[in-house]
Amino acid sequence: MDAPQPYRVLARKYRPSTFSTLIGQDALVRTLSNAIDRDRLAHAFLLTGVRGVGKTSTARLLAKALNCVGPDGAGGPTIAPCGFVSPAGR
Ligand SMILES: Nc1ncnc2c1ncn2[C@@H]1O[C@H](COP(=O)(O)OP(=O)(O)OP(=O)(O)O)[C@@H](O)[C@H]1O
Ligand SMILES: [Mg+2]
């Protein structure tokens, strides 16, 4: 039998954890990807929309992407963040 999974609230359980699983926001993902590639990142992001379209999820993904430093700490912003958290960063 599989080991029991730690409890995770519903809001986090089904939240997309990568840009590839964020549905219907292709233009945003492409724009951000281009911005990262060209080192032309915006200084602010304004997320609007009715309830539940993915504003909070997008903000969390943005934070992950822009704060990624890679497993060796030498990386930078990326559209595909590794998600690795160093023990010191927990
Ligand atoms: N674009 C999306 N792709 C995949 N899942 C989504 C998307 N938008 C929303 N969801 C699902 O709906 C849940 C709620 O989304 P989220 O919290 O990001 O919405 P929100 O726009 O911040 O809503 P609110 O206006 O209530 O703050 C997420 O946990 C996720 O499961
Ligand atoms: Mg929200």
Count of CB atoms situated within 10 Å of the CB of 57:
21
Residue 1 resides in a domain: no
Over residues 51-71, the pLDDT tens digits come to 999 999 999 999 999 999 998
Q: Which ligand is nearest to the CA of 61?
A: 1
The position carrying tokens 């929309």 is 49
Report which protein residue has its CA nearest ligand 1's atom 17.
Answer: 56
In a domain, 25, yes or no: yes
Report the number of distinct structural domains present in the chain.
1
**Looking at the domain assignment, is residue 54 inside a domain?**
yes
The boundaries of the domain holding residue 18 are 10-89
Give 4-24 pLDDT, tens digit per residue: 888 888 888 889 999 999 999
pTM > 0.85: yes
**Domain contains 47:** yes
For residue 81, count other CB atoms closer than 10 A to its CB: 20
**Is residue 4 in a domain?**
no
Closest of 22, 27, 38, 23 to residue 80, by C-alpha: 22
